[in-house]
Amino acid sequence: MVKLKIPEHQVAGHQAKTGILGPLIDDSGKFYKPLQGDERGSNELAFYTSLYSDPRIPSNILKFFPSFHGSETIDASDGSGLHPHLILEDIVSNYTNAAVVDIKIGSRTWQPQSSEDYIRKCLQKDRESSTIKLGFRISGLRSVGPSNKLWQPHRKLLMDLSADDVMLVLRKFVSSDGDVDEPDVVFGSRVFVPVLEELLELKKWFEVQTIFHFYSCSVLVVYEKDEKENEKKSARAVVKLIDFAHVVDAKGAIDHNFLGGLCSLIKFVKDVLAGLGDAGNNVSKDEC
């Protein structure tokens, strides 16, 4: 029986540490996500189950998804007994001091087939957050600075950011400290150059793929904040897609909702890089 614990780096979604059913991790780099009881759970399980054997997904795109190790019924974090969990890659387990941001992509988080009640709830949240204005919202963020100083803004503060706020949050995210109005952006190009490359690779696929529409799915950006570890190749900043409870069949059209939000995020990342001066200029102009 593996020893499971509550993840420190989870920045969005239901969190086990608040006493409710939430994900767990083990020491071998696995992330145990409780299956949601309704169709969301079965939808996400079905997505992961078929993803890695789907010949329509190009191999360079598979790296954007957490690896999947099946499902298992284990003791739930809330003490309610056995509960089925997805077994996924614990994305942050490779990092000594991971900085993480979760960005929910799309200006609409509900799929067309949703119930009226669900649409009403999502639409209200989309209107109250930056989702409708910016095409995404930051769902969570966590970063630990030099003297163990934690920067983890409350989700409610992150929900409804203006364009200027997003610029500041992204700049703080790549600073050593994070807790200042003029961030030092020391990790700026080391994070956002590879992140921009990956986002552009993802964009290229979203311009043509007519397989899935990803509603309420997030882009997770993770990088290594520990100065000693940061130079290692394994500590390269990564972009991952997570949360597939609301993925639906594309029915012949591209995912214009996700693509629009992704392009909006890309523009912010480019603007942050442009603001770094020379440090941000080592990405090809052709790609921008």
Q: Would you give the distance in Å from CA 113 to the centre of its chain?
A: 24
Binding window for a copy of itself (CB under 8 A); candidates: 40-48, 104-112, 144-152, 223-231: 104-112
Least distance CB 251 / a copy of itself (angstroms)? 6
d(CA 132, CA 99): 26
Residue 263: other Cβ atoms inside 10 A: 15
Sign of the CA dihedral running 177, 182, 187, 191: positive
SS3 209: coil
d(CA 141, CA 124): 22
Site map 214..253 versus a copy of itself, x via CB under 8 A: -------------------------------------xxx
Residue nearer to a copy of itself on the CB measure, 235 or 272: 272
Based on the shown chain and the rule CB under 8 A, indicate whether residue 61 belongs to the binding site for a copy of itself. Answer: no
Based on the shown chain and the rule CB under 8 A, indicate whether residue 281 belongs to the binding site for a copy of itself. Answer: no
Place of tokens 């930051």: 138
Residue nearer to a copy of itself on the CB measure, 181 or 231: 181
Site map 123..152 versus a copy of itself, x via CB under 8 A: x---x----xxxx-----------------
Least distance CB 125 / a copy of itself (angstroms)? 14
Pairing assessment for the beta strands 98-105 and 82-89 based on DSSP bridges: unpaired
Based on the shown chain and the rule CB under 8 A, indicate whether residue 1 belongs to the binding site for a copy of itself. Answer: no
Based on the shown chain and the rule CB under 8 A, indicate whether residue 19 belongs to the binding site for a copy of itself. Answer: no
Least distance CB 275 / a copy of itself (angstroms)? 13
Q: Would you give the distance in Å from CA 257 to the centre of its chain?
A: 16
Q: Which of residues 193-212 bind a copy of itself (CB under 8 A)?
A: 207-208, 210
Least distance CB 168 / a copy of itself (angstroms)? 12
d(CA 151, CA 153): 6
Name the token pair of 22: 């939430």
Based on the shown chain and the rule CB under 8 A, indicate whether residue 168 belongs to the binding site for a copy of itself. Answer: no
d(CA 277, CA 106): 29
Q: Identify whether the C-beta of residue 170 lies closer than 8 Å to the C-beta of residue 268.
A: yes
Measured CA distances, 15 to 4, 28, 100, 216 (Å): 14, 20, 15, 17
Least distance CB 96 / a copy of itself (angstroms)? 35
Q: Which of residues 249-278 bind a copy of itself (CB under 8 A)?
A: 251-254, 256-257, 259-261, 263-264, 266-267
Residue nearer to a copy of itself on the CB measure, 84 or 106: 106
Residue 257: other Cβ atoms inside 10 A: 19
Based on the shown chain and the rule CB under 8 A, indicate whether residue 159 belongs to the binding site for a copy of itself. Answer: no
d(CA 273, CA 26): 36
**Interior angle at CA 46, CA 118 and CA 13, nearest 5:** 50
- Please work out the total of residues on this chain that contact a copy of itself, with binding judged by CB under 8 A: 28
Using CB under 8 A, list all residues that contact a copy of itself. Answer: 107-108, 112, 123, 127, 132-135, 162-164, 207-208, 210, 251-254, 256-257, 259-261, 263-264, 266-267
